[in-house]
Structure 1
Amino acid sequence: MALAVVAALAVAACGGGGAAQERPKAGTTFTYAITGLPTSLDPADYQGDPSRNIGFELGSSLFRWGTEGLPKQGCDALAKVDQINGELAESYERSADGKVVKVKLKEARSAAGNTLTSNDVKWTIDRLIQLKVGTPNTLMQDVADWAADPIKVVDDRNFEILMDNPSAMDIAILTWAQFRVLDSTEIKKNVTAEDPWGKAFVSRNASTFGPWTHVTGDFVSGDRLTLTKNPNYTGERGDVEKLVFVGVADPASRAQLLSTGNASYATGLQYEQYAQLRSNPAIDVQTCVSADRIPLVLNAKDPVLGKNEVRKAISLAIDRKTIVDAVYRGFNKPADATVSAAYGLDLPNAAKYQYNVDEAKKLLSAAGVGPLSITLHISPARPGAEAEQIAILLQSQLRQVGIEVKIQTLASATEINTVFHDGNFQALLYLEPPAVADPYYSLFLYNSSKSKLNTFGYVDAELDSVTAQVGRTTPGAERDALVKKAAEIQANHPGFIYIVDRDFVHAVRKGLTNYQHAPNGEMFVHTLKQG
């Protein structure tokens, strides 16, 4: 099937005759080769990276990251939660107590010609709540502490976001793709008593106010999606006239499409393929800062792995630099501290990871732990194809301190996510890709005992308290000091044990500029320009 897709795209790009000069000029059509197409376009039906890739490109968000003034437009430095610009929102202001955000909408119309109103916003948010959509509800309820009924309509262009407690994350969470505002006027024409939220319609119709549109036939579930310009969109636009998503499961086939010019961008390649593409003069391999991290997760409910000395010993026994050097072909970095270096903080030594086999052995001895055998769950789906290489290196390194590691491979993302969410593991290699790249989100999401995603039984009351303070404090010196304190707590009492700090790596055909490098790592094709 992968070869058939490659052949079909080659014929389409070359007009059937194979002549490279007949391909569309750079910027006219952008072909985006991804791991697969979701079966639904509904933001309530999140199906991993393909949904994420398409969702961000559909746009229609109230707010976006302000990357314009950052080094290389955000490639070299992450935008912070106070560097947010309006997309569909024209302006916003917070109340004195921080519990209300007043938002005014821009004048905007969907591709169907319907005018954006505050009722569209309320219907969209109510829909996410009523359908119990995972990540948006976690962001609203746990990260930003919105009220149970958070949207109050004032008039057609003004509404309020109501919160139970003030939060530094109140607006930043709305940059996440699943919060894209839907055209409720159009969707309500297609609801039924059995389907009051129009899931059947939204599954095959994007129905947004963003830069793109499509007709029903342009979406082939699981295979292809073709987007064309929303004629009513008045926001910033570049030179791309058509955006085509094609699902190609095999990374080698995605790399081939890119190298031959039959794709403009290929996502999720293996690192040896990125390394090879660097030598292709027609390809630009961009490496940008990211807060994504690969952690080793030790189940704190395990009678041995729950001991703090054992967790610290295992961290000390990991040679992170050797792992990165052996696995990543010059990409990515060893995790040097409990909080990602991507956040740009000068962390104290007490928060940084050390490699010390002798000290690890002493800690295990002091904990009364002799020879130990543990099972490590891994998956090529998460963190990626490199999981087996990392696991084998961990197996070798931990053997030096008397810990035998048995590797158990789970093929699919569903399997590894189920094992994690059920807490049914001793040790697990995972991936932490923040939906909102911010120190609070990273501290809270897995390591706070208050988080629904802390499935491994880790509890530190002091960390909970400090993390909560980070969430309420706006970026600046006071917040940075709190993050540093949290980082030290995590080093002394490890939750997630981070191994790798991943970069965003983008392999794209040359000829386009004006990439906006948001902290979520997406492309935002509608802004790209020729030249």
Structure 2
Amino acid sequence: MRKNRTRLTGIVAGFAALGIAAAGCAADPAETRDNDSTVFRFAAAGDPKSLDPSLASDGETFRVTRQVFETLLDHERGGSTIVGGLAETWSTSEDGTQWSFTLREGVKFHNGEDLTAEVVCLNYDRWFNWSGNYQSAAMSAYWQDTFGGFAENESKDAPEPNYVGCSASDDLNLTIEVKNPSSRLPGGFTLASMAIHSPESIKTYDEQAPEGDDAAALTYPEYSQTVGAAHGTGPYMYKEWDKANHTVTVERFDDYWGEKAKIKTVVFKTIPKENDRKQELLSGGIDGYDLVAPQDIAELEKAGVQVPTRDPFNLLYLGFNQTMDGKDTPLADKKVREAIAHAINKDKIISQVYPAGTTPAKEFMPPTLSGWSDEVTEYEYNVDTAKEMLADAGAEDLTLDFCYPTDVTRPYMPSPESIFENMKADLQEIGITVEDKPLTWAPDFLDTTAEGGCSLYILGWTGDYNEAYNFLGTWFAANDPAWGFNDKDIRDKLAEADAEPDPEARLPLYIEANNLIMDFIPGVPIAHSSPSIAFAEHINPPTTSPLTQEDFAEASFK
């Protein structure tokens, strides 16, 4: 989910017209449900942006596209261990620059075309040769994060390409070559954005590539907004995208190479407000929804709803911006940053806002990841210490603007306003005046934080794969305007870790990076959440994923 602030899910406001299901539409508890004739309806918090996951970087898009498209590698169900996907086996050269894959036999696309090694190379070469509109970070965030730039970079800000090429030795064997080893591989081969499309689909995509003025408009091509051209190999295929009613319908693909989907038809329906999602489930209008509010879990379980929780694989943090409009902010003073870190009562926030299983964070990655450090500088909650540090910095009368998002829930941030109010009270307790700056999630909050327009802000991240760089590098590998600092020691250490081909040799480098980051204190890591997902009593739910990558082909009606 590369942050570039585009990866974070955009919640579209103004969906009040959706309402909730009328009582007359509620399902009869005694109704016989059949996997082939009964539609499974799942509510999400936001619309997908594209039917082509290559053009996306947000979780709501990927929730849908993961049912339709597949990647070379995948994650085990319910975990973060990398396993085979379309590739049955894989290996890498000793220097980490060549990745070889052997594909599964007999895999077909939804339009009947065969999956071959040449088709995989066609996909990767297409991304590498993108131009115009597609080179925007809004369109190709994950490609640029994983493989760098393009065959011909059209902007001086585009990263240097790390991708060299892809070659097929026969129908089932291929090799992808990169210039330099990267910690983002093999995890990058699991990304939803790197899903494989059929040759016929790619031909249609290329015919619709924006040109001229269209390329500057950052509009999505027609093929990605209407069903018909996008064909994957997954257990489901696209049937309808009803934008007026905010629903996407997928239907079982009977020629799927693996275990067939149990339920024939699945509808993903956008209901932005969590309370509306809850009421629609209780009334029988939907069969499940994501991002359950912690305070609703007991009520749902009492009503017979299943509310499994995911293992924590995320982080909420309080961000500090040290430079705004080319000038240092008060947060450029380390004593001020340390004072705020001591002022935040993480335990209170977790107890009031988060579900059971949430743990306080002491660094910018979960403790389940290799490279987590047990030696970082810690900033225990202590009001007196915080006040003394502010006084030492000569900042007793400090005023800071504080941005927080509205009309949104995220796995790492179940109630932004409640989190903000808790932090505001903590800051006021040590004498800091807080100027509230509530912003609509998309585009206002995401754009403002990304452009460095907030002194303080709350944001977070759910990991894409089990690699420390996917967390640390997301924030601190480059000079990000959201943070407004450029610490050479941190950047150099992360670059050293990223370039190390041996995973075991990377671990001490990540530990060193974590120690450097928390000594520098660019922000305050707050919590690793256990986000909940809800399913009606009559559903056999899919296995929950800490990466929020549930496979709906597993679900069935009881």
Normalising by structure 2, report the TM-score.
0.82
Q: Tell whether the 8 Å contact from 1:60 to 1:211 is kept in structure 2 after alignment.
A: no
Asked whether the equivalents of residues 493 and 513 of structure 2 are also in contact (C-alpha less than 8 Å), the reply is: yes
Q: Does 1:368 align with 2:394?
A: yes
Hey, what's the Cα distance between the residues in 2 that align with 1:149 and 1:387? 42
Which consecutive unaligned segments of at least 5 residues does structure 2 have?
1-14, 150-158
Residue number among 46, 49, 54 corresponding to 2:59 in the alignment: 49
Matched, 1:287 2:309: yes
What secondary structure does 1:376 align onto?
strand
Q: Work out whether 1:200 is the aligned partner of 2:222.
A: yes
What code does the residue aligned with 1:416 have? F
Match 2:519 to one of 473, 492, 498: 492
**Distance verdict in 2 for CA 1:432–1:494, change over 3 Å:** same
1:98 matched residue in structure 2? 96
Of 21, 37, 43, 1:7 maps to: 21
**Are the counterparts in 2 of residues 504 and 521 from structure 1 also a CA contact under 8 Å?**
no
| CA distances 1:96-140 after superposition (whole Å, capped 9, x unpaired) | 221010122223111110111234323333444412233322332
Q: 1:4 to 1:356 in 2, by over 3 A?
A: closer
Q: Aligned-pair distance for 1:454?
A: 5.5
Contact 1:145 1:164 in 2 (8 A): no
Which range is displaced more, 398-407 or 41-50? 41-50
Q: Residue 237 of structure 1 aligns with which residue?
A: 260
Q: Is the 8 A contact 1:64 1:175 kept in 2?
A: yes
Q: Cα offset for 1:456?
A: 1.9
Q: Helix, strand or coil: the match of 1:55?
A: helix
Alpha-carbon distance in structure 1 between the residues aligned to 2:543 and 2:496: 31
Quick one: structure 1 residues 498 and 145, their matched pair in 2 at CA, closer, same or farther if it must change by over 3 Å? farther
Taking a change above 3 Å as real, the CA distance of residues 199 and 208 of structure 1, as seen in their structure-2 partners, is farther
Q: How do 1:394-473 and structure 2 match up within 5 A?
A: 394-448=423-477, 450=478, 453=480, 455-473=482-500
Partner of 2:154: none
Question: Is the contact between residue 404 and residue 445 of structure 2 (CA under 8 Å) also seen in structure 1?
Answer: yes
CA distance in 2 between counterparts of 1:43 and 1:476 reads: 28
Give the deviation of 1:142 after TM superposition.
5.6
Q: For residues 202-240 of structure 1, what are the alpha-carbon distances to aligned partners after superposition, in whole Å with 9 as ceiling and x for unaligned?
A: 43233111111134xx22125212211112211133522
CA distance in 1, matches of 2:510, 2:29: 53
CA distance in 2, matches of 1:382, 1:438: 25
Matched residue, 2:48: 38
1:7 deviation in Å? 3.3
* Amino acid in the other structure paired with 1:59: F
Distance in 2, Cα, partners of 1:311 & 1:140: 32
Letter in 1 for 2:365: V
Amino acid at match of 1:522: Q
Aligned-residue CA RMSD (Å) = 3.1
Which residue of structure 1 lines up, in the alignment, with residue 186 of structure 2?
A: 171
Deviation at 1:498, TM superposition (A): 1.3
Q: Cα 1:473–1:193, aligned 2, differ >3 Å: closer, same or farther?
A: closer
User: Residue deviations 1:224-257, cap 9 Å, x none?
Assistant: 1221111221113352222111122332221122
Aligned to 2:144: 138
Deviation at 1:23, TM superposition (A): 5.0
CA 1:404/1:40 → structure 2, altered by over 3 Å: closer, same or farther?
Answer: same
SS at match of 1:103: strand
1:115 aligned residue:
114
Give the secondary-structure state (helix, strand or coil) at the position aligned to 1:486: helix
- Matched with 1:320 is 346
2:87 is aligned with what amino acid?
Answer: A
Aligned to 1:431, the other structure's residue is in SS state: strand
Contact 2:54–2:194 (8 Å) recurs in 1: no
The verdict on how the C-alpha distance between 1:124 and 1:273 changes in structure 2, with shifts beyond 3 A counting, is farther
Q: Does 1:161 align with 2:176?
A: yes
Task: Give the deviation of 1:377 after TM superposition.
Answer: 0.7
State the aligned residue count: 509
Name the counterpart of 1:214: 238
1:227-306 matches, within 5 Å, as 227-281=250-304, 283-301=305-323, 302-306=328-332
Report the CA distance between 1:387 and its aligned residue.
1.6
Q: Which amino acid aligns with 1:105?
A: L
SS at structure 1 position matched to 2:196: coil
How far does residue 484 in structure 1 lie from its aligned partner after superposition?
2.7
Q: Equivalents in 1 of 2:467, 2:391: separation in Å?
A: 38
* CA distances 1:146-196 after superposition (whole Å, capped 9, x unpaired): 724443344433322111211233121122212111112244257537659
The whole-number CA distance in structure 1 between the counterparts of 2:429 and 2:20 is: 46
2:197: which partner in 1? 182
What SS does structure 2 have at the residue aligned with 1:368? coil
CA distance in 2, matches of 1:4, 1:351: 48
- Aligned residue identity for 1:322: K
Instruction: Name the CA shift for 1:314/1:279 in 2 (closer, same or farther; >3 Å).
Output: same
Contact 1:351/1:484, CA 8 A, preserved across alignment: no
Distance 1:146 1:173 in 2: 15
Which shifted more, 286-295 or 135-144?
A: 135-144
In 2, Cα distance between the equivalents of 1:273 and 1:168? 39
The separation in 2 between residues aligned to 1:322 and 1:194, in whole angstroms, is 51
Letter in structure 1 aligned against 2:30: Q
Stretch deviating more after TM superposition (336-345 or 430-439): 336-345
Distance 2:507 2:118 in 1: 38
Cα separation, 1, equivalents of 2:33 and 2:202: 34
Once the two structures are TM-superposed, the CA of residue 525 in structure 1 deviates from its matched residue by: 0.8
1:507 to 522, 525, 534: 534
Report the AA paired with residue 460 of structure 1: D
| Alpha carbons of structure 1 residues 331 and 470: separation in structure 2 relative to 1, 3 Å | same
Q: CA deviation at 1:500?
A: 2.2
| 135-144 vs 388-397, which moves further | 135-144
Q: How far off its partner does 1:505 sit?
A: 1.3
- Residues 42 and 199 of structure 1 are in contact (CA less than 8 Å); yes or no, is this contact kept in structure 2? no
Q: Within 5 Å, which residues of 2 pair with 1:511-526?
A: 515-526=542-553
Go from structure 1 to structure 2 and tell me whether the alpha carbon gap of 1:382 and 1:508 turns closer, same or farther (over 3 Å shift).
closer
Query: Aligned to 1:284, what secondary structure does the other structure show?
Result: coil
| Deviation at residue 305 of structure 1 after TM alignment | 0.5
Secondary structure at the aligned position of 1:354 is classed as coil
8 Å CA contact 1:239, 1:528 repeated in 2: yes
The alignment-based identity, stated in percent, is: 21
Aligned counterparts of 1:33 and 1:500: Cα–Cα separation in 2: 26
The one-letter code sitting in structure 2 at the alignment partner of 1:325 is S
Aligned to 2:123: 124
Give the Cα–Cα distance (whole angstroms) in 2 for the partners of residues 6 and 482 of structure 1: 51
Query: Aligned equivalents of 2:494 and 2:71: distance in 1?
Result: 28
